[in-house]
Amino acid sequence: MNGDGATDLAVGQPSATESGHTAKGGAVTAVFGSATGLTSTGRKTIHQDTTGVPGGGETGDDMGASVSIGDVDLDGYGDILTGAPGEDITRSGVNESNAGQVFLIRGSATGPTGTGAVGYSQDTTGIPGATEPNDRLGSSVSLTDLSGYSRADIAIGADGEDADNGTILQIDNTSTSGIKTDTGLYYGVSALGSSTGIRIGLALAP
């Protein structure tokens, strides 16, 4: 995540408490690698109250419930995608509790940073569908090349969608235009030919 060639670790902490700050909505901590393995030196924590990260931490948001690392912009720094499936979203003046949201946190020479962070929900412009209570978007996340442009695309699980049938949302990241929300495509029960009530999107890999 800091471009030094050593493998780092992103740790989700959906009920985190950071020293000197209560991260009410959860957090993600970067633990950096070194020539001798993982080290606590320079450890860095990002949460919704970090400058630049959209929104604000609230009890039950569960940011860090899922995490994935991938290079979205090919700048040599690993970026973090993390889910907050307990995030409440206000839509048309109505609170959609546990609708869920994900956050893309950029890597830099000093590791993850709130600068340039972006939040995605089913109410983000261009993404098909709409937020609903208990969709739990962000129950799982994956940053991996799904479209063949050699950049990390976004895959997001919403295990509570459609009365707990669940779904997966894919958002492509093209080499010329970056992440395009209008490419959003869902894979749910009908697309996957699965039985109902199986919570598609509870887990994703890689």
CATH of the domain at 64: 2.130.10.130
Domain count, the chain: 1
- Whether residue 77 is contained in a domain is answered as yes
- Whether residue 173 is contained in a domain is answered as yes
User: Is a pLDDT exceeding 70 seen at residue 22?
Assistant: no
- Whether residue 180 is contained in a domain is answered as yes
Task: Assign 3-class secondary structure to the chain.
Answer: CCCCCCCCEEEEECCCCECCECCCCEEEEEEECCCCCCEEEEEEEEECCCCCCCCCCCCCCCECCEEEEECCCCCCCCEEEEEECCCCEEECCEEECCCEEEEEEECCCCCCEEEEEEEECCCCCCCCCCCCCCCCEEEEEEEECCCCCCCCEEEEEECCHHHHCEEEEEECEECCCEECHHHCEEECHHHHCCCCCCCECCCCCC
- Whether residue 3 is contained in a domain is answered as no
Q: What is the pLDDT of residue 67?
A: 98
pTM of the model: 0.94
pLDDT digits 0-9 by tens, 28-86: 999 999 999 999 899 999 999 999 999 998 889 999 999 999 999 999 999 999 999 99
- Whether residue 199 is contained in a domain is answered as no
- Whether residue 201 is contained in a domain is answered as no
Range of the domain at 117: 9-192
